[in-house]
Amino acid sequence: MSAIAERYRAVRRAVADAADAAGRDPEDITIVAVTKNVGVAEIKQAYAAGVRDFGENRVQEFLGKHGLFPEVRWHFIGTLQSNKVKDVVGRAALIHSVDSVELLARIDRIAAERDVVQPVLLQVNVSGEATKHGFRPEDIEDALRAASGMPAVRVEGLMTIAPLAKPEQVRWVFRGLAELFASLSSLRFNGVEMRELSMGMTNDYRVAIEEGATIIRVGRAIFGK
């Protein structure tokens, strides 16, 4: 068994333990293996170990890896510039990082031209850090209302990135996103299916799962440093 396979197995065990502690089904949690700075050989090993969801931060890397591994579910998880939308729409199973209504409208326009419906998540800056992208929590309802008028995008939930700190110190971020998600789930907008919470990375995914994450984005814990 490769080192990547062993690490992936360890992550799956940790996910199961965190889910059990929260009274959740581990099968409800998707592990996205983050391939930033990861080569083709390592991706092949991860695929052989059973990974089927991969995430990339950079558009150029996303395009190259998507072309080599079209059979897997590719997530785009990095900051997406408006002029790069055309490279991602229709290729990404899910875009995690929509951080403005303007970007949402651009995705809708490109997707409509290609006759596809693009699944997306809205990125929320729960921590309020100036260095973080994302909507303010109080602006999300208006963004969902805007999305309801965009037939070529489907909002499937929310995403956040916690500050780099000890897991317990950022639990409030994940809890805040989960509470926002719950408050919005009762609203009904066309083209909005609130079912995914993308939160938690290598340092803090256990806490994120305890607070309700349905998608975790894990790189180092699978591929190593």
Please report, for the domain that includes residue 46, its CATH number: 3.20.20.10
Residue 223, in any domain of the structure: no
Q: Tens-digit pLDDT profile for the chain (225 aa)?
A: 899 999 999 999 999 999 999 999 999 999 999 999 999 999 999 999 999 999 999 999 999 999 999 999 999 999 999 999 999 999 999 999 999 999 999 999 999 999 999 999 999 999 888 788 899 999 999 999 999 999 999 999 999 999 988 989 999 999 999 999 999 988 888 889 999 999 999 999 999 999 999 999 999 999 998
Residue 224, in any domain of the structure: no
Interstrand relation of 73-76 and 192-198 (parallel, antiparallel or unpaired): unpaired
Q: Is residue 175 helix, strand or coil? A: helix
Residue 79, in any domain of the structure: yes
Residue 104, in any domain of the structure: yes
Record the pTM: 0.95
- Give the total number of structural domains in the chain: 1
For residue 217, give both structure tokens: 């984005």
Domain around 83: 3-217
> What spatial distance separates the first Cα and last Cα of the chain, rounded to whole Å?
19
Residue 100, in any domain of the structure: yes
H helix runs in 124-170, sequence order = 140-147
At residue 185, the pLDDT reads: 86
Residue 225, in any domain of the structure: no
DSSP 167: G
Give dist(CA 73, CA 51) in Å, integer.
Answer: 10
Which residues touch 172 (CB under 8 Å, ≥6 apart)?
Answer: none
